[in-house]
Amino acid sequence: MTYTHLLVERSGPACTITFNRPAALNALNAETIGELSSVLDDVAADAAVRVVIFTGAGEKAFVAGADIKELAQQTPISGREMARRGQQVFLRLERLGKPTIAAINGFALGGGCELALACTFRIAADTAKLGQPEINLGIIPGYGGSQRLARLIGPDRALDLILTGRMVTADEAFRLGFVTRVVPAASLAEDVQKFAGELAGKAPLAVRYALAAVNDGLDLTLPQGCEHEATLFGLVSSTDDMREGTRAFVEKRKAEFKGQ
């Protein structure tokens, strides 16, 4: 499918989705959120796609936030529904069952930061800037930022960013713990593709169950999480990929996983 605000490109088992509104610094409007929902359905259903990469068009921004013109028109009812819609799509992204990588090539602010937080990994160019500056508009994060950021870096550090609205560099974001890696801007695309290729070479079902174990476990007590892990371990033990992986190890060769 073709989209108005998204570019979708396949390269082997990796699918790269580029937010393509460079004149608006790739800001998220309602139409873009709708397109993102549709493309997530497509990549979730495509077994050949094993890793999904998100980035922004142009050199300035990953996604610089939500569309301010749309925000300014919200009422209490429409604002709540707007937040719920974005949250639903980002939760779909978070629970995609495949590794997702935010290749942060510039500003990742507001909704853009929240989008990155919903990804499995965040790899930032050393020139990138991140933040939740909604407070400066008289609002708060609405697409799950207050929840995911606090879970990643703790409530006090999250509130430092949310209540001041300040931007942080990629290096500070790494030190705080909500950026996975920082790489030179010139090699961002290459480094992300290399990492995506590494992830794509793993057993797809084991990857899916590992993602579920971690994501679901965050909402469970430790004993409940361990029981959930044991159930998933039992499921993955029934797969052809498990037999292939263990056999390849014994035979001292590279495993060829097929997602079965």
φ, ψ for residue 216, nearest 5 deg: -65, -35
Is 244 designated active site? no
Are residues 106 and 127 in contact, defined by beta-carbon separation less than 8 angstroms?
yes
Pairing of strands 100-104, 129-131: unpaired
Candidate list 31, 114, 229, 256, residue with the active-site label: 114
Say how far apart CA 123 and CA 143 lie, in whole Å. 20
Say how far apart CA 161 and CA 214 lie, in whole Å. 25
Are residues 64 and 128 in contact, defined by beta-carbon separation less than 8 angstroms?
no
Is 134 designated active site? yes
Are residues 165 and 141 in contact, defined by beta-carbon separation less than 8 angstroms?
no
Candidate list 31, 59, 94, 134, residue with the active-site label: 134
Pairing of strands 129-131, 168-169: antiparallel
The alpha carbons of the chain give a radius of gyration, in whole angstroms, of 19
Q: Looking at the annotation, which residues are catalytic?
A: 114, 134
